[in-house]
Amino acid sequence: MGIENMKMPQLGESVTEGTISKWLVSPGDTVNKYDPIAEVQTDKVNAEVPSSFTGTIKELIAEEGDTLEVGEIICSIEIEGGGSAPQEEAPKEESKKESSKQPESTQKPAKSPSKDSGNKARYSPAVLKLSQEHDIDLNQVEGTGNEGRITRKDLKKIIESGNIPKAGDAPVEKAEAEAPQAPAQDQVPSQPAAASKQAAPSVPVAPGDIEIPVSGIRKAIAANMVRSKHEAPHAWTMMEIDVTNLVDYRNSLKTEFKQREGFNLTFFAFFVKAVAQALKEYPQINSMWAGDKIVQKKDINLSIAVATDDALYVPVIKNADEKTIKGIAREITELAGKVRSGKLTSQDMQGGTFTVNNTGSFGSVQSMGIINYPQAAILQVESIVKRPVVMNNGMIAVRDMVNLCMSLDHRVLDGLVCGRFLQRVKEILENTSKETTSVY
């Protein structure tokens, strides 16, 4: 028999941590390789984590609600025929001999190094919330989790005992004086400093105020947004486009299209297709910043923003330049359905090179999006509205107009190439009509 550790997997590009939303197994359960053992939530996806081994669940190291970095141990599994067992026998025997020679008081401090490592300071949202509700100073708590990590069980025991450690109290069960613990945010290198400083501001709560716990996915979205604004120097540009012919064309098709295909032909599909075509002609836009180089991506994989009541997801339409308007409309419908039914997979989220956001769906006419890190730009498609426009002949006419708003990473892109890119998108859209464009 041997013990193997299951670690938090990376469930998408740029994902650095995940939250255990639900355990699907308990200690003592037998699992086969690839059986789902837990549901994990990140800023990009909800996914089931499969077992990497066949064996018996020995210990669930992470609790439901715990947020762990990619690579951290979430549970241990006892497997048949493991090679690690024989190597562990000698140390176990040695430790028994040592224990008989040394008094208990000299053995206790041995736990100290692991408890005071970075793991103790990375508190899960559930632990942080419980400590704030009961005014518990976490620096005074001895954790019983992996490498001294503080768990909800530890806090519940303290709450039940009534012995609540406050800031300034002497640490309990410390063998010797220690240096003051650094704030938790200084020990989590994966989070930007700006995000960490804003993680727990002191906000007065008055009677009648509602406190809403920050979910794992909302916390991850916040960290990624702050990272994008902190690292990427954002610039912004907007272009006004006359889509009257496009609107007439789409409206003439929509009823017959829905009856024939079974899904809607949306305006957004036309915009996504135009963006994909323009990216092929201006590949500089389809790039990412990589520190000492810029990576210009070959594939045109468009991330589309899909919102739920409490989160924003960005599934990906892969090779969008190779798809028809009908094909893009189908993928938009399918991906949005997966998001809202909770069936989106990590594969659906990976590989995005540029983001198109349909902000016009809720009536916005002008907005500045935050870049979907590490991409170099994001395009906001605003609401199509009827406005009086002065035509080339000097006459005033009511036209269907839309604003396209583009945020760009100024390390990667300059205004000239972005202006030309938007001009090309404008040209494609303004020339979309029954005579020039096929949706098939």
Task: Look up residue 74 and give its two tokens.
Answer: 């979430």
* Dihedral sign computed on CA atoms, order 212, 213, 214, 216: negative
Does residue 414 carry a catalytic annotation?
Answer: yes
Q: Vertex 161, ends 158 and 166: CA angle to 5°?
A: 50
d(CA 287, CA 354): 8
First vs last C-alpha separation in the chain: 59
Query: What is the Cα 107 distance to its own chain's centre?
Result: 42
Looking up tokens 């837990």, which residue turns up?
Answer: 38
Closest-CA residue to 371 (of 405, 401, 420): 405
Active site residue 116: no
- Distance CA(288)–CA(184), nearest Å, equals 31
Which tokens is 131 given? 């400590």
What is the C-alpha separation between 6 and 28, in angstroms, rounded? 15
Which uninterrupted H or E stretch holds 269?
helix 267-281
Give rounded-to-5 percent helix, strand, coil for the chain. Answer: 35, 20, 40
Q: Rounded CA gap, 379 and 358, in Å?
A: 9
CA distance linking residue 317 with residue 337, whole number of Å = 14
Parallel, antiparallel, or unpaired for β 294-296 and 287-289? antiparallel
Catalytic residue among 230, 299, 310, 410: 410
**Mind telling me the catalytic residues?**
410, 414
